[in-house]
Amino acid sequence: MDPSQGGERATPWGGGQTHTGGDALIRAVEQTVAMLHIENLTKRYGELVAVDDVSLDVQPGKIVGFVGPNGAGKSTTMRSIFGLVAPDAGSIRWNGETVEQNHMRSFGYMPEQRGLYPKMKIAEQVSFFAELKHVPAKQARMQAEALLTSLDLGDRLDDPLEKLSHGNQQRVQLAVSLVNNPELLVLDEPFNGLDPVAVITLQEVLAEQVSAGAGVLFSSHQLDLVERVCDEIVVIVNGQILARGSVRDVRAAGGDRHVTIEVDRPIMPIIDALDPDTVMTSTTESATVRVSGDEELEAVLAKARQAGPIVRFDYHLPSLEERFASIVNASNDQVEVSA
């Protein structure tokens, strides 16, 4: 599937951005600006294609949300940025150069599988990881202490990691990913296992990093967070990218609109007049219906009017969550058909 297809399908509806004629040119320009440029990445494990021809960019100062069900290929893609997975095809570039170990000095990483040295003191530990990223020893120690202090761990600097609570260990993990002032931050499910306060802290941290010019790629299946935080989202299912763009683009990309009709009497007669497959939810006096295209919209409105006065006629894009669910369902149906 052409990854840009989602964007093009949106245009007839006028919801998406104008990605039509100059699309190739725009992408070419984006690539030269992009710090991280992943192109046609493919990774197979035997029969299983974990990542199938994935391309994505991360621009400076932008947050890209990487969204998909478990096992969709998010972690495999992110790990391949750090050479932890050797791709079968495709390339990963950083400012135009093929990514190698020395580029990773300017990357920060929070793996999905969290883990640090249990018996190492936390300041020493954060400083160790900074030094691995070529931060000079003294500076590494200073930054580690400053960072941990800003994460409210200032009085625990000489405690071994294992003495800290789970939540605090997560903070140390975050400190490790930030301690080299990365230009690219790759966070695999960073919000997993965080308490609500820590979620807010992490959002603030991301905002700081981005305003300092870093590019952020983070994966999540908490779509409400993604919707709030991201400049761009990339939806991956079964190793393939099925949608991408701004949150609005992706919501619009399916071509569906949701119509909520509310009346001051039982709504049943109206529902009966509609195609039952399109009715998503209903109460006694209201119903939400899926429509695609102007004609269908007009038809629904006409049928509703025939039945009498309308209290509310609300017309909106599907939420990201709804959109995501329909992408995943469509993909799974396709897999079943082809299998």
Separation of alpha carbons 170 and 193, rounded Å: 8
| Given 111, 221, 225, 301, the residue binding other proteins (CB under 8 A) | 111
Pick the closer one to other proteins by CB: 102 or 284. 102
Q: Is residue 46 within the footprint of other proteins (CB under 8 A)?
A: no
| Given 113, 211, 283, 338, the residue binding other proteins (CB under 8 A) | 113
Question: For residue 209, which of 87, 84, 315, 60 has the smallest C-alpha distance?
Answer: 60
Q: Is residue 118 within the footprint of other proteins (CB under 8 A)?
A: yes
Q: Is residue 191 within the footprint of other proteins (CB under 8 A)?
A: no
- Using the rule CB under 8 A, give the single segment among 27-35, 56-64, 109-117, 209-217 that binds other proteins: 109-117
What is the residue type of 150? S
What's 99's DSSP letter?
P
Separation of alpha carbons 101 and 279, rounded Å: 53
Q: Do β-strands 240-245 and 215-220 pair in parallel, antiparallel, or remain unpaired?
A: unpaired
Q: Tell the burial category of 244 from Cβ atoms under 10 Å away from its Cβ (0-12, 13-18, 19+).
A: buried
Q: Is residue 324 within the footprint of other proteins (CB under 8 A)?
A: no
Separation of alpha carbons 281 and 261, rounded Å: 11
Q: Is residue 116 within the footprint of other proteins (CB under 8 A)?
A: yes
Instruction: Write out the DSSP string of 257-322.
Output: EEEEEE-SS--HHHHHHS-GGGEEEE-SSEEEEEEESHHHHHHHHHHHHHTS--SEEEEEPPPHHH
CB 174 to other proteins: min, Å: 12
- Using the rule CB under 8 A, give the single segment among 52-60, 64-72, 110-118, 219-227 that binds other proteins: 110-118
Q: Is residue 42 within the footprint of other proteins (CB under 8 A)?
A: no
Number of residues that bind other proteins (CB under 8 A): 28
- Residue 287 phi/psi, 5° resolution? -150, 150
Question: For residue 295, which of 249, 330, 255, 251 has the smallest C-alpha distance?
Answer: 255
Q: Is residue 276 within the footprint of other proteins (CB under 8 A)?
A: no
CB 220 to other proteins: min, Å: 19
| Given 128, 191, 218, 324, the residue binding other proteins (CB under 8 A) | 128
Contact mark string toward other proteins, 79..108, x via CB under 8 A: x--xxxxx--------------xx-xx-x-
Q: Is residue 50 within the footprint of other proteins (CB under 8 A)?
A: no
| Given 19, 74, 103, 133, the residue binding other proteins (CB under 8 A) | 133
Supply the Cα-derived Rg of the chain in whole angstroms: 23
CB 60 within 8 A of CB 213: yes
Q: Is residue 129 within the footprint of other proteins (CB under 8 A)?
A: yes
Binding interface with other proteins (CB under 8 A): 79, 82-86, 101-102, 104-105, 107, 109, 111, 113-120, 128-129, 131-134, 176
